[in-house]
C-alpha cells in the first residue's frame, strides 16, 4: 500500500532565518524521518517572482535554498527535492483551477493584502492568484496532507475547496481533499521589533539567519529589545534551542541570558554551516539532486495532467 503524499515548498528569497527553520524546515525533517509519508519538497521559484527581486540573483538563491534544505537534514534518498519551474506542468494545472475558482474567494486571502501593502507600485496578478498556483503545486502530486502553521490554514482550506469545486464540476473524485498537519511552531518575532514576525523584508536587524556566523548571531541577540514583548520572544527562542543552551532563562540577568541564547543558536547550526559551505563550493551534488527530483516529480506530473485534461475535455 502506498504512503500518503506530503507536499510543501519555500520561496528562494535569500538565506533562511530561524523563523523559517522552526516554522517549517524542522518539521519537514521530522515528517520525512517518520517514514510515514511520500515527501515532496520543492523550491517555489515561480511564486517568488511575484515580489520585487533581482533576476540575476535568483539562480544562486535557488541553489542556496536547496543547500540549506540538505544541510538542515532533508535527505534526497527519503524525499523528492525539486525546483517548481523545472516541472512547469503546475502552471498548466493552475490555469485549469482558475476556471473553477471564484474571484471572491481570492479577494478574501489575507496574504494578498499584506504583500500588496509592501509593494504598492507592483500589485500584480501573480500576488492575487498565487493561492491557485499553490493549490496546483499540491494537488498535481495528489498531495493528501500539508504541514502548516496556523497562519497558513486559510490557504490550505482554499486548496481543499478547489479540489472539491473541480470534482463537483466534472463529477469525479480525482483530487483528494487534503488535510493539514498542524505543526507545533514557535512564534518567532523580530528581535528589533517584537510586535512583528521575524522577516527579512523589515531589514537586517529584524532577522537571524540560520547560516549567519556566531559573531553575527551574538550581535543580533545582544541588541534584542527587552520590552515585555521582547522578553517573551527571547523566552520562545530559549525554549526552541534549550537543548543547546547552558543554564536557565533569567530575566534579571538579560545580558547573560542573551549570551547563552546566542551561543545556543550558533552551536545548533554549527554542522549545518559547515555542510552548506561545502555544498556551495561545488554545486554539482545539488544539481544532481535536483535533476533526480525533477525526473520523479515530472513523471507523476505528466501522468496526472493527462488524466485531468481528459476529465475536462481538452485531450
Q: Which of the residues are catalytic?
A: 115, 197, 200
- 70 CB burial (10 A radius; 0-12, 13-18, 19+): buried
Which residues partner with 182 through β-bridges?
Answer: 148
For the beta sheet containing 79-83, the strands, ordered from the edge strand earlier in sequence to the opposite edge, are 79-83, 38-43, 5-10, 145-148, 179-182
Q: What is the C-alpha separation between 216 and 212, in angstroms, rounded? A: 6
The C-alpha R_g of the chain, in whole angstroms, comes to 20
Rounded to 5 degrees, φ, ψ at 294 are -60, -45
Place of cell 543552551: 245
Chain mean position to CA 235: 24
The C-alpha angle with vertex 90 and arms to 87 and 96, in degrees rounded to 5, equals: 150
Residue found by looking up cell 521530522 in the block: 30
Q: Is residue 134 within a helix (H) or strand (E), and if so which, with residue range?
A: helix 125-139
Amino acid at each position: 500500500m502506498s504512503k500518503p503524499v506530503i507536499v510543501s515548498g519555500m520561496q528562494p528569497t535569500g538565506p533562511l532565518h530561524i523563523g523559517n527553520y522552526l516554522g517549517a524546515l524542522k518539521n519537514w525533517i521530522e515528517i520525512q524521518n517518520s517514514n510515514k509519508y511520500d515527501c515532496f519538497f520543492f523550491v517555489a521559484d515561480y511564486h517568488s517572482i511575484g515580489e520585487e527581486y533581482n533576476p540575476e540573483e535568483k539562480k544562486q538563491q535557488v541553489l542556496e535554498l536547496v543547500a540549506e534544505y540538505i544541510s538542515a537534514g532533508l535527505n534526497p534518498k527519503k524525499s523528492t527535492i525539486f525546483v517548481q519551474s523545472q516541472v512547469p506542468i503546475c502552471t498548466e494545472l493552475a490555469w485549469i483551477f482558475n476556471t473553477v475558482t471564484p474571484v471572491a474567494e481570492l479577494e478574501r486571502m489575507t496574504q494578498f493584502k499584506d504583500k500588496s501593502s509592501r509593494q504598492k507600485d507592483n500589485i500584480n496578478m501573480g500576488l492575487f492568484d498565487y493561492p491557485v498556483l499553490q493549490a496546483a503545486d499540491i494537488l498535481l502530486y495528489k498531495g493528501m496532507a500539508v504541514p502548516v502553521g496556523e497562519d497558513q490554514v486559510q490557504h490550505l482550506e482554499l486548496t481543499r475547496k478547489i479540489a472539491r469545486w473541480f470534482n463537483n464540476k466534472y463529477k469525479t473524485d480525482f483530487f483528494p481533499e487534503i488535510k493539514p498537519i498542524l505543526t507545533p511552531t514557535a512564534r518567532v518575532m523580530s528581535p528589533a521589533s517584537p510586535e512583528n514576525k521575524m522577516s527579512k523584508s523589515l531589514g537586517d536587524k529584524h532577522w537571524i539567519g540560520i547560516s549567519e556566523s556566531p559573531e553575527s548571531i551574538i550581535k543580533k541577540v545582544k541588541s534584542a529589545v527587552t520590552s515585555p514583548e521582547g522578553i517573551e520572544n527571547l523566552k520562545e527562542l530559549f525554549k526552541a534551542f534549550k537543548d543547546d543552551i547552558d543554564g536557565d532563562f533569567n530575566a534579571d540577568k538579560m545580558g547573560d541570558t542573551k549570551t547563552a541564547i546566542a551561543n545556543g543558536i550558533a552551536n545548533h547550526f554549527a554542522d549545518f554551516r559547515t555542510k552548506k559551505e561545502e555544498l556551495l563550493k561545488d554545486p554539482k551534488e545539488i544539481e544532481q539532486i535536483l535533476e533526480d527530483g525533477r525526473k520523479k516529480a515530472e513523471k507523476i506530473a505528466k501522468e496526472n495532467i493527462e488524466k485531468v485534461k481528459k476529465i475536462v475535455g481538452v485531450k
